[in-house]
Amino acid sequence: MEMGRISTAMISSFSTEGKIDYEIAGVLIEHLIKNGTNSIVVNGTTGESPTLSVEEKEALLAFTIKTVNKRIPVIAGTGTNSTSESLQLTKKATELGADGIMLVTPYYNKPSQKGMYAHFTEIASETSLPILLYNIPGRSVVNLLPETVVALSKVKNIRAVKEASGDLEQIATIITETDQNFSVYSGDDALTLPILAIGGNGIVSVAAHIVGNDMQKMIAAFLAGRNAEAAAMHRALLPLFRGLFATSNPVPLKYALKKMNIGTGGVRLPLISYGDCNAEFDHIWKEYEKNRTLFA
């Protein structure tokens, strides 16, 4: 599955009326391409997918595919807790020309491992697109266990997993027991380097919106065997990674982008902005800038 080392889970840009702002979305896409993003995930958690209607998801995906114009791959987040709705979104993404789809573990209804296997294989049978599984127990409650991922990796077009369990032992097991053509991506910016170190492929990132090029330099240093240099970059980035999750994602990220003169609007209820977190992020950003010489 062609995603590169850094795939950015793109936020959804909103106007002051709360509608998708396509002009700003276009600016953001160009910013991401210039700043270290190898592929874009549309309609994921960072894009506030639970608050987007089916029509909005389809329109934003179509706009992104057209704007990107094959410069980098576009991955469509089509997973929901409804297999039938996920199928509908997947078929539309296939029709629109997405380069792949991302399927999150079904949330709220708490399916069993067999239920998740059936959910993912049912959707995989209805598309020719490569599939990125997305395991995020902190949001979906259920944990897609390594043995289930290994079984799913034997399905021809299930080619990768975004692992956000935070469990390096679980992630190492998946890397060991799947074949070399199956990719494992971190779903947590703070685990980018540790997951690369145990054989993972890269990161589906939030932070790449603002520090994508610096993250690419960290990854390049690691791949070139400059481990101490990569580790120093990792430590310099860690407070920033944590700051972006000081409250619900993407609240701090939208504030950070505004500081970079990319105003992507507010968040949709039930998310709200938090002034205290903005002040905390300002402090973190100042500390990060002191270490920018590491990335020169």
74 marked as part of a ligand binding site: no
CA distances 188 to 130, 135, 209, Å, are 22, 11, 14
CA distance 219 to 8: 15
Active site residues: 134, 162
Omega prior to 194 cis, within 30 of 0: no
* DSSP string computed for 203-245: EEESTHHHHHHHHHHHHHHHHTT-HHHHHHHHHHHHHHHHHTT
161 marked as part of a ligand binding site: no
CA distance 34 to 202: 18
Q: Find all residues with CB under 8 Å of 267, minimum gap 6, and list them.
A: 14, 48, 250, 251, 254, 273
Q: Find all residues with CB under 8 Å of 89, minimum gap 6, and list them.
A: 54, 57, 58, 76, 78, 80
For strands 131-135 and 158-163, give the pairing. parallel
Count the neighbouring beta carbons within 10 Å of the beta carbon of residue 203: 30
CA distance 188 to 241: 9
* DSSP string computed for 39-53: EEEESSTTTTGGGS-
- DSSP for residue 190: G
Binding-site residues for pyruvate:
46, 204
Binding-site residues:
46, 204
